A and B are shown apart, each in its own frame.
Chain A
Amino acid sequence: MNVTETEGERLLVALRSVLAAKGIASAAEIAERIAITDSASPGQGARMVAKAWCDAGYRARLLEDGSKAAEELGIPMRGMPPLGVLEDTAEHHNLVVCTLCSCYPRAVLGYPPFWYKSAAYRARAVRDPRGLLAEEWGTVLADNVRLRVVDSTADYRWMVLPLRPAGTEGWDEARLASIVREGDVIGVTIPRLA
């Protein structure tokens, strides 16, 4: 008996061998998927946002089809749910939640932050979104800005294209990407200069 092997590891080995035996997923395919998942981070979403801020053509393609726009930047989307992009404007601010579980655009943002999966975030985002944003993140929306809460309930995954902050005129894409945080593309925060 190998005392360093956990029950979970034995289960994983068994599951992998069944998947391979049934021709559902090979060891190589599973390894590739793990590598892709581990390499995804909010930095990828930030690159997409920064490019959309600089390039009107890319912005249009991003809003039309987020998955294709991600692939354009070399982000692997094969086998991932379709990605939709929600455009913030001077009149509308978008906030993403999954009230039913924890659907999250992992392909472009990586693993969700711990609070995204919490019952408190999921319940309050749809019922008291302005209170949630103000009290937990200090994000206070202007009175003339409508809040649109997007509950990610089914086959799509959603990210927010926030407004480019004032004071970033002339910045290149890399510098712009450096100020875009995870919360900015979920909609709990708004990009600001560091």
Chain B
Amino acid sequence: MFAPGTAVRVKDDWPETRGPVHIRTPHYLRGMQGVVVRHLGSFRNPEDLAFARPAPLRALYHVRFDQPSVWHEGRAGDELQVEIFEHWLEQA
């Protein structure tokens, strides 16, 4: 579990290059560093649900990212806040 305020990185992983997938982690955040805002709850893993496989509960976090750092443009201080499942996050 990640506590609020923990610096995390979204895994730079591209499962879509390895076969059929259903992923709720946007492309533009892969490999990006952010900060955990809070644990939103635990939900069945959509990557399994989409293929009717047994879907274990996975922790879901709200993670905040610096918007200009992601795109190399934009207004300083603007933010992106995105729901990311725990198995996509690693300690930064």
Q: Which of A's residues lie within 8 Å of B, judged by CB? A: 82, 84, 99-100, 126-130, 146-156
Contacts and interface: CB of A to CB of B under 8 A. Distances in A.
A153 B77 CA distance: 22
Given A82-B41, A130-B74, A155 B80 contact: no
B71 A127 contact: yes
Nearest to A82: B41
A155 B41 CA distance: 9
Nearest to B23: A100
A148 B79 contact: yes
Given A148-B78, A149-B78, A155-B83, 20 more contacts: A99-B26, A126-B26, A126-B28, A126-B71, A126-B80, A127-B28, A127-B73, A127-B74, A128-B73, A129-B67, A129-B74, A130-B74, A146-B77, A148-B79, A148-B81, A150-B82, A151-B81, A154-B46, A155-B43, A156-B60
Contact of B81 (A100, A127, A150, A155): A150
A153 B24 contact: yes
Given A99-B26, A126-B28, A127-B71, A154 B60 contact: yes
A156 B84 CA distance: 11
B92 interface: no
A181 B67 CA distance: 27
Nearest to B81: A150
Nearest to B42: A155
Give the one of B41, B70, B71, B79 with max A CB within 10 A.
B79
Nearest to A150: B81
Nearest to B26: A99
B3 interface: no
B11 to A, nearest CB: 15
A84 B71 contact: no
B48 to A, nearest CB: 14
29 contacts: A100-B24, A126-B26, A126-B28, A126-B67, A127-B28, A127-B71, A127-B73, A127-B74, A128-B73, A130-B78, A146-B79, A147-B75, A148-B79, A148-B80, A149-B78, A149-B79, A149-B81, A150-B81, A151-B82, A151-B83, A153-B24, A154-B46, A154-B83, A154-B85, A155-B40, A155-B60, A155-B83, A156-B60, A156-B83
